[in-house]
Structure 1
Amino acid sequence: MTSSPLPRSSSARFGQPPIRFGRLPEIRDHIAGWLDRNAVPLLDLAVRLTMAPIFFRSGLQKIGDWQATLFLFKEEYRVPLLPADVAALLAAATELTMPVLLVLGLATRLAAVPLLAMALVIQFVLGAESPAFNNPQHYFWMLLLTGLILRGGGRLSLDHWFLRFSRRNGDRP
């Protein structure tokens, strides 16, 4: 009695892997490309929409009771190098304008710079004087704002659309 060779499907099970590993880089690149096109713009938007209300609410609170704001900047938020009334005005103006730019994705990098500066001052200048300002959440803000400075507003921003429009019309920088 002679033995018959194993059917092809059985030999594939024992001798070859069921998936061709040579295609894994292609699959990985396909998935990464899909994420870059679809998920990353949503993440960029989410970062902008996360940071904007944090600062905007603070600005509204400052102008809601200006006398209390001036008192806090004189007594508790003593920012070096700036008179209290100037520091309060700059803080309120920054907190009310830059978040609007972030939401729109307009001048995103530029808008994130003063907000990052504020977070740095809160954490490292005011936090050095008073433990009440030393908050680990500020590091998260700094990380997100740095990402906006480095990456910009992303595809779902006015920055992207203005750049795309200017390139389409031949106004390449």
Structure 2
Amino acid sequence: MTNMINKFTELMNSSLIESIALLIARLALGGVFWRSATSRLEEGSWTSLSEGALYQFSDAPFNNVPVINGDFGAYFTTYTELTVAVLLFLGLATRFSALATIGMALVIQIFVFPTFAHLWATVALWAAVALFLIIRGGGLFSVDKLIGNKLG
């Protein structure tokens, strides 16, 4: 029995398994921000935001966010989320992208939904996944690995 546990532990500690976990983490975290950003885009457009998205950033709670409110905030947030999501999907600048998601999560937590329930329901999970990516990088299945980027 101990031998089986040791073999299982050895398998789970392999770089292949770790890289699969990192890939899943990148896709999951990137997917959160991709869905958020694309939900604001006009149907069939990559450059226009919906009226609802523009209204959302001009009304509470988004008007509490310094600098990032109104039309500028809507566009800035949307394209930042899209960029970070694509970078995470590709595993390019993985650590930087994961750090950016923590920054966005903190802004959301502090200024948009400053409740304890929101912290544990979403922000803590995003931060945990992002910290995993910051610590371990993009893994074997990443552009960072392909180009030999040690910071990715």
TM category, shorter: 0.7 to 0.9
8 A contact 1:123–1:135 mirrored in 2: no
- Tell me which residue corresponds to 2:105: 119
**Aligned residue in 2 for 1:140:** 125
State the match for 2:46 in structure 1. none
* Compared CA separation, residues 131 and 73, structure 1 to 2 (3 A): farther
Q: Match of 1:147, as an amino acid?
A: F
SS in 1 for 2:13: helix
100-109 vs 146-155, which moves further: 146-155
Does residue 67 of the first structure (1) align with residue 51 of the second (2)? yes
- Contact 1:102–1:112 (CA<8 Å) still a contact in 2? yes
The equivalent of 1:41 in structure 2 is 19
Question: How much has 1:133 moved relative to structure 2?
Answer: 5.5
Q: What CA deviation, in whole Å up to 9, does each residue of 1:17-73 have, x standing for no partner?
A: xx9x9xx7xx84994366222211110011011111111111111122432111111
Contact 1:59 1:96 in 2 (8 A): yes
- Identity of matched residues, %: 30
- CA change 1:103–1:80 in 2 (3 A) is same
Alignment-mate amino acid for residue 56 of structure 1:
W
CA 1:120–1:36 in structure 2 vs 1: closer, same or farther (change >3 Å)?
same
**Residue of structure 1 equivalent to 2:30:** 52
Residue of structure 2 equivalent to 1:106? 92
Whole-angstrom CA distance in 1 between matches of 2:74 and 2:24: 29
Distance of aligned partners of 1:71 and 1:159 in 2 relative to their CA distance in 1, 3 Å threshold: same
Q: Partner amino acid for 2:21?
A: L
TM-score (norm 1): 0.69
Unaligned runs of 5+ in 2: 43-48
Distance 1:132 1:68, change over 3 A: farther
Classify 1:38/1:84 alpha carbon distance in 2 versus 1 (closer, same or farther; 3 Å): same
**Structure-to-structure mapping, 1:78-117, within 5 angstroms:** 78=63, 79-117=65-103
Matched residue count: 141
Q: Which has the higher contact order (CA 8 A, sep 6+)?
A: 2
Query: Quick check: which has more Rg, 1 or 2?
Result: 1
Q: Would you say the 8 A contact 1:122–1:133 is kept in 2?
A: no
Q: Is the 1:120–1:142 contact (alpha carbons within 8 Å) kept by the matching residues of 2?
A: no
Q: In the alignment, is the contact (CA less than 8 A) between 1:49 and 1:103 conserved in 2?
A: yes
Indicate how the Cα distance of structure 1 residues 36 and 85 shifts in structure 2: closer, same or farther if over 3 A, else same. Answer: same
The answer to which of 131-140 and 78-87 deviates more is 131-140
Q: TM-score, normalised by structure 2?
A: 0.77
